């Protein structure tokens, strides 16, 4: 049965602003791929990321490039070789999963051989800012069990001290977004661990992370920008304790499932993360959350507007997506 493709950019406003070490945003630009067989429709969302050389325009062009292949029978499995890991393949891969679920009236978790997903607790992200502003934001969210703190600038210790003062009981993880040097990690790690921080994501630039090999890590280190698909894993050994699996890096749920299995076998702790996207992007990622150490799928909580039939959050408790949304 012929499958037709459409793809479009959509924009959603951020609630306030979202700031990391590389800049600040007040809206997100996502790309949505739709596959239709004339009866059933499958959708997938991706978030083009300039850090990886992606723009909305380049991702849309890459998605459209497979249209002729669809006419010739391209399916989800063949897609893995047709496009490289990244945002474009993610949107198409997730659309294929959704279309199959709709066609067969079978949820994606069952199609993938997974356990039925259950509600799970996600981190809630506090943007990079002045210590006092971050303390106030932490205090507003002090009842959340897990807070993720954006760092990567001078004064990071003061920021965490302020956050801890605002949320004395929350578990903390921090994300430096490649903003530290090895010397900064070595100076900050013991202090952050003393303040109850459990993990730091990507403290060093991905191209300079060899400095982590063999050094003492008093604060566990998670690979984010250094970890894309399964082929990334051999280079992460001895440098990282955990990996952050994001569908926009793996190129979809298909590869993410493979990456998770291999990373677990290799002894890495697992975080399931996201770019700043809508509930449509969170829905497939949520299927990876069984048995992982950290879940960071709070994208919709940081937006001023979400999709129709959005994922339900009660505080930080996240529920599986409704079939009307995805899967």
Q: Any idea which residues carry the catalytic annotation?
A: 150, 246
CA-based nearest residue to 96, from 48, 44, 61 = 44
Q: For the chain, first and last CA: distance in Å?
A: 20
**Contact predicate 249/227, CB 8 Å:** yes
- Alpha-carbon Rg of the chain, whole angstroms? 19
Q: What residues does 243 pair with on adjacent strands? A: 223, 270
Residue spans of alpha helices (H) in the chain? 56-64, 67-71, 76-82, 87-104, 108-111, 131-140, 156-166, 182-194, 247-250, 253-265, 279-286
**Contact predicate 189/165, CB 8 Å:** no
Tell me how far apart the alpha carbons of residues 122 and 272 are, in angstroms, rounded to a whole number: 9
Residue spans of alpha helices (H) in 105-215? 108-111, 131-140, 156-166, 182-194
Tell me how far apart the alpha carbons of residues 157 and 131 are, in angstroms, rounded to a whole number: 9
């Amino acid at each position: 049965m012929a499958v037709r493709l459409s793809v479009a950019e959509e924009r959603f406003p951020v609630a306030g602003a979202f700031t990391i070490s590389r800049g600040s945003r007040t809206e997100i630009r996502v790309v949505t791929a739709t596959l239709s067989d004339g009866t059933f429709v499958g959708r997938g969302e991706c978030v083009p990321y300039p850090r990886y050389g992606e723009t909305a325009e380049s991702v849309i062009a890459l998605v459209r490039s497979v249209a002729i292949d669809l006419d010739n029978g391209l399916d989800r499995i063949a897609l893995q070789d047709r496009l490289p890991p990244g945002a474009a393949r993610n949107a198409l891969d997730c659309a294929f999963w959704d279309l199959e679920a709709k066609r067969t009236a079978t949820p994606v978790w069952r199609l993938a051989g997974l356990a039925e997903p259950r509600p799970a607790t996600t981190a809630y992200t506090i943007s990079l800012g002045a210590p006092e502003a971050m303390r106030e934001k932490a205090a507003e969210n002090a009842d959340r069990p897990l807070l993720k703190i954006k760092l990567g600038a001078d004064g990071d210790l003061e920021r965490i001290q302020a956050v801890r003062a605002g949320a004395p009981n929350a578990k903390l993880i921090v994300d430096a977004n490649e903003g530290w040097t090895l010397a900064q990690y070595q100076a900050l790690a013991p202090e952050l661990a003393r303040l109850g921080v459990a993990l730091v994501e990507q403290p060093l630039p991905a191209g300079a992370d060899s400095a982590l090999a063999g050094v003492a890590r008093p604060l566990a280190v998670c690979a984010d920008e250094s970890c894309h698909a399964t082929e990334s894993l051999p280079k992460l050994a001895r440098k990282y304790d955990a990996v952050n699996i994001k569908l926009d890096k793996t190129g979809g749920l298909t590869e993410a499932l493979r990456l998770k299995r291999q990373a677990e076998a290799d002894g890495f702790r697992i975080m399931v993360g996201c770019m700043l996207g809508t509930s449509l992007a969170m829905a497939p990622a949520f299927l990876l959350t069984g048995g992982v150490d950290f879940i960071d799928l709070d994208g919709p909580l940081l937006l001023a507007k979400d999709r129709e039939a959005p994922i339900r959050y009660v505080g930080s408790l996240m529920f599986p997506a409704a079939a009307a949304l995805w899967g």
